[in-house]
Amino acid sequence: MTDPFGRTIDYLRISVTDRCNERCLYCMPEGYKGWAQKADHLSADQIVDIAAAAARIGFRKFRLTGGEPLIRADFLKIAQGIGALPGLHSLGVSTNGLLLAPMAADLARAGVRAVNVSLDALDPEAYRKLTGGDFAKVRAGIEAALAEGLMVKLNCVLLRGINEDQYRPLIRFAADHGTPLRFIELMPLSSTDVLTEANFLSVFELRARLHAESLLEPLADYRPGHGPARYWRDQATGAYLGFIGAITTGDFCANCNKLRLTADGKIRPCLGRHGELDLKTVLAAGSDLGELLAQAIAQKPEDHEFTQNYQPARPMTAIGG
Ligand code: SAM
Ligand code: SF4
């Protein structure tokens, strides 16, 4: 399926819940109350039905995310359902890693092949301050996933003045574990105290700093997975470093390949624009899901509105990060 701008859209990112067991300062800090009603969440069967409809019209890549997807009690049922779809090219999970260690073997058995783990600090105290979580569990999760043969990528949102001192230890950790590390620019996706210009650190600035400290070799053709990162190799450590600069990379949207399914059954053509189509009503009416997905593809905008004073109406956790 091709959108009006000639981009092939074959990737569905599914938020299975907007709840989370961490409290990242930039995502849903302590005291956050923007939850959807749990009763509004799609059931496991509904999620698999939607993914199957997407597969029938050409979607080949699926990612389960949230909120924290692994807190859903029926998560493996969802993964198994999607893992068994005909024509599937890849099934990935985005997680904070807290529950990954005990689940890694089951995920691999369910057909999950790739896991993206958020890791914003390596120092346990800094990690706890930023996320409320326990770094030892996340580390165990990353190592368990690697031991199961899953492809692991690390994601880091660097905030100026908060965790910017963590990038070198994180790069070393990524090199030691043979996992690509991606730096993601802070995006205006919810309303939190650290979503300010003062905390924003562009990937351009970070790359310039890294370049000054060691040498970065551009990897024009390296694209593990199907994400928007552009990669460089850090000569000092050998680490593969990805940079996701949604705000400062001019042609960031040029290769967009995805739609997003929200935890409460809306299809979102673009993370950085408000438009949504209601899939749940179509599901309840037993109508053609594929047709609505095709409409969403036809409505994909050329680019996001993050740099045009985009105001988040609904948090990223609901939309699916
Ligand atoms: N809980 C899982 C996790 O943390 O990986 C999956 C959901 S989380 C919303 C997905 C990704 O979105 C994480 O890598 C997180 O760092 C990123 N994220 C959340 N809020 C963000 C923001 N305001 N700007 C940039 N990235 C953000
Ligand atoms: Fe939870 Fe992930 Fe958001 Fe952190 S980034 S609060 S782990 S959903």
For 71-88, the three-class secondary structure string (H helix, E strand, C coil) is HCCCHHHHHHHHHCCCCC
Q: Out of 35, 96, 120, give the residue to mutate to test ligand 2, the one with the largest number of ligand atoms within 8 Å of its CB.
A: 96
- Measured from the CB, is residue 199 less than 6 Å from ligand 2? no
How many Å is the Cα radius of gyration of the chain? 19
- Measured from the CB, is residue 96 less than 6 Å from ligand 2? yes
- Residues framing ligand 1 (Cβ under 6 A): 20, 26-27, 65-66, 68, 94-96, 118, 155, 157, 184, 186-187, 189, 316-317, 321
- Measured from the CB, is residue 20 less than 6 Å from ligand 2? yes
Ligand nearest to the CA of 64: 1
Taking a C-beta distance cutoff of 8 angstroms, is the pair 148, 184 a contact?
no
Instruction: Name the pTM for this structure.
Output: 0.94
Ligand 2 centroid–CA 191 distance in Å is 14
* Single-letter amino acid, residue 141: G
Ligand 1 atom 21: residue of nearest CA: 27
Taking a C-beta distance cutoff of 8 angstroms, is the pair 306, 187 a contact?
yes
| Residue 166 to residue 243: CA distance in whole angstroms | 16
Ligand 2 atom 4: residue of nearest CA: 24
List of domains in the chain: 11-319 (3.20.20.70)
Ligand 2 centroid–CA 90 distance in Å is 23
Ligand nearest to the CA of 95: 1
Ligand 2 atom 3: residue of nearest CA: 27
Ligand 1 atom with the shortest distance to the CA of 189: 23
pLDDT at 48: 97
pLDDT at 58: 96
Pairing of β 266-268 and β 277-278: antiparallel
pLDDT at 253: 85
pLDDT at 283: 87
Buried b (16+ CB within 10 A) or exposed e, 176-206: eeebbbbbbbbbbbbebebbeeebbbbbeeb
One pLDDT digit (tens) per residue for the chain, 321 residues: 999 999 999 999 999 999 999 999 998 867 776 666 677 899 999 999 999 999 999 999 999 999 999 999 999 999 999 999 999 999 999 999 999 999 999 999 999 999 999 999 999 999 999 999 999 999 999 999 999 999 999 999 999 999 999 999 999 999 999 999 999 998 877 767 778 889 999 999 999 999 898 889 999 888 877 678 899 999 999 999 999 888 887 777 888 999 999 999 999 988 877 778 999 888 888 889 999 999 999 999 887 867 666 666 665 666 656
Q: Where are the alpha helices (DSSP H) in 148-180?
A: 167-177
Ligand 1 atom 1: residue of nearest CA: 68
pLDDT at 234: 95
Q: Out of 13, 24, 27, 200, give the residue to mutate to test ligand 1, the one with the largest number of ligand atoms within 8 Å of its CB.
A: 27
Taking a C-beta distance cutoff of 8 angstroms, is the pair 215, 209 a contact?
no
Beta-strand (E) ranges in 177-278? 181-184, 216-219, 230-234, 240-244, 258-261, 266-268, 277-278
Ligand 2 centroid–CA 69 distance in Å is 10
